[in-house]
A and B are shown apart, each in its own frame.
Chain A
Amino acid sequence: DVKVTQSSRYLVKRTGEKVFLECVQDMDHENMFWYRQDPGLGLRLIYFSYDVKMKEKGDIPEGYSVSREKKERFSLILESASTNQTSMYLCASSHRASGANVLTFGAGSRLTVL
């Protein structure tokens, strides 16, 4: 069963901590994405990547960075976590042939920053 795996379902961090959210896909997809989901705001794109070592800013990149050293892994980094980054984070991937349309999502990582 192909899938996108997010390493942590729940995390609790303190303000100012550095946070790593890891995402791995086993579908050999070229495209990978990080979204955050907040009630009433839907899904907002943070960063995406169309290839190894490549990244593009989404709609809300401030306070975040990403790393794509291997095709199957896309990491989201919060350099200094703040309380307004408490949210559900969703990783997704897609095959280049489908463009960015047919996304396969992970189950999400719920981050709480105290």
Chain B
Amino acid sequence: GQQLNQSPQSMFIQEGEDVSMNCTSSSIFNTWLWYKQDPGEGPVLLIALYKAGELTSNGRLTAQFGITRKDSFLNISASIPSDVGIYFCAGRRNQAGTALIFGKGTTLSVSS
């Protein structure tokens, strides 16, 4: 099955730094989403994007739906220790009955 190419695989940053991660696909998606998984928990939805070019913020998080509909990025500004976790991008193609496809995840570590 198709997977999304998510990078970087892991990041080690200092508290207060900004973070950027992205996701690409060879196929067009009509929906892009970003999830975060805290240690020992299931992923939780952060941001959903439904239109090419859309830029959406959720607090210190900003995500964009690429114009080509084949990519998306997530930025986190002024990171804090509770940002630690695994971030997953997810996409959905414009086909009835299809489920989400997830990227392999970006593991974020923040040192204070």
Contact = CB atoms under 8 A, between A and B. Distances in A.
B59 interface: no
A89 B31 CA distance: 24
Sorting the interface of chain B by its residue count into under 10, 10 to 19, 20 to 34 or 35 or more gives: 20 to 34
Interface string B43-63: 111001000000000000000
12 contacts: A33-B99, A40-B9, A41-B104, A42-B3, A56-B99, A60-B1, A100-B92, A101-B92, A103-B43, A105-B44, A106-B42, A108-B40
Nearest to B42: A105
Contact of A101 (B3, B43, B48, B105): B48
B104 A105 contact: no
Nearest to A47: B99
Interface of B: 1, 3, 6, 9, 31, 33, 35, 40-45, 48, 88, 92, 97-105
A76 B13 CA distance: 38
Interface residues of A, number: 26
A91 B11 CA distance: 27
Contact of B92 (A44, A48, A99, A107): A99
B41 A48 contact: no
